[in-house]
Chain A
């Protein structure tokens, strides 16, 4: 009896891997043939996306994803790490117990609501101040920076709290201030954990879809400035999926394959990095 239960539980435990494998299997099965047909180089590095003529090049969308992800990291990482240091080092435990979940709540707000806010409030401001369409790399980066904040903050706080107390106490005992200790001792010791948080946040930013569709403007072009509108890999899938058929749909799945690959690499790197100890 116990042996049967143990087997059943083992199968349940394998479900996550099984689902991951199924996802890979079905998306690859739909997407890979068209990649082979177009030629991988062509698919990845051509700017020509004309589904009706059967030409599928996703470079424009990759550049779009790259800009928005980079933008959100530039804004979100300093902010996130600063929040983490403040909450882990400078704030009383009681207060941190209220503030940390408040920041984590940012992850609970539906991405469509962020998108809505971007459209109604942020984009008009950018349009008036800097010109351009408003729905732009800058708008999307600002909103994504807030969306990835919870990931960066909670992973970084864990990393900082995992630094042995003796490091901090030793530094303080030598007469260093709290800040000198945080900057020269705690942060360097926690850097691999923080880096893992940043990489996971990056994965969030690359994969985010609905908010990005609403605020990046979705123009199919290589941008020249952060005030230009762009279309990301995820946005292109979601926008065209509604009416795509045949090869066009396969090409969208192929875009999914590229996305899946990229996210898996980020995940593996994050896991590797976070396992490294001081």
Chain B
């Protein structure tokens, strides 16, 4: 028996819809599961108190500070390096053997699993360079990890700048560098920032890299050479060692909310940029 194409079309469309709906449902379920379990335990005190009794009591302030400092180091290195990389690829060179090799390197780096970055950071920054388990080691390792994200987004942003911006600036006698800094970069800035925000998000989510390179001290860090834990590491330790389910849920809630805000910000920025471009 042969089924009419219009019927197969209906069945297929429904199955595909179901697949997509289940993916979205999984997302909502994960977010809901964490927030329902943890949001009621998130209080002002939880955000502003030190970690007591290995996480059984107190709050998570040192983990928040640790996260912010480590992200700061990572972005402080990855953003200038990544944007410079992207400027070179988009503005300063033609496609050829060299760019192909560079792009290959970026793609491969993007595929390297986080545990490898952890091993690398541990041996290079912690052991050989002697930074020990510290915010600095953690930040440097994270910088290596998020570099491809920053480069790719920044390059895309630069390439979306209309060619006449460059032509006009150049015709006024601007040098290449002046063209880039005065005409191209301001226009591409929102897109570049999107990449930086995504990099921040990746750093906040990360656990394996941080645990190997920054350790998991519970004290409030006072310098970049102190060991510290990020919120993700704190959550992992609470959950895995069964220290306190209540505090684990609460920490995960904060983590999820932060990630949601970051990703939605990045997305709306990109979206608005693209819409602006099309209207112009």
Contacts and interface: CB of A to CB of B under 8 A. Distances in A.
B145 to A, nearest CB: 9
B42 interface: no
Contact of B115 (A1, A102, A146, A207): A207
B124 A105 contact: no
Interface stretch (B10-18, B43-51, B159-167): B10-18
Interface residues of B, number: 81
A108 interface: yes
Could you tell me the dominant secondary structure of chain A's interface residues? Answer: helix
A271 interface: yes
Contacts of A267: 107-108, 111
A179 B9 contact: yes
Given A9-B92, A121-B33, A20 B9 contact: no
Nearest to B211: A238
B43 to A, nearest CB: 21
A213 B211 CA distance: 14
Given A26-B123, A207-B113, A259-B116, A83 B5 contact: no
Interface in B91-124: 92-93, 101-102, 104-109, 111-120, 122-124
B250 interface: no
Contacts of B33: 117, 120-121
B235 A82 contact: no
A177 B109 contact: no
Given A117-B30, A267-B111, 7 more contacts: A90-B13, A105-B260, A109-B31, A117-B33, A207-B115, A238-B208, A241-B119
Interface of A: 1-2, 5-6, 8-10, 12-17, 19-20, 22-23, 26-27, 30, 78-79, 82-83, 85-87, 90-91, 97, 99, 101-103, 105-106, 108-117, 119-121, 146, 149, 153, 176-180, 182-183, 200, 203-204, 206-210, 213-214, 234, 237-238, 241, 252-253, 256, 259-260, 263-264, 266-268, 270-271
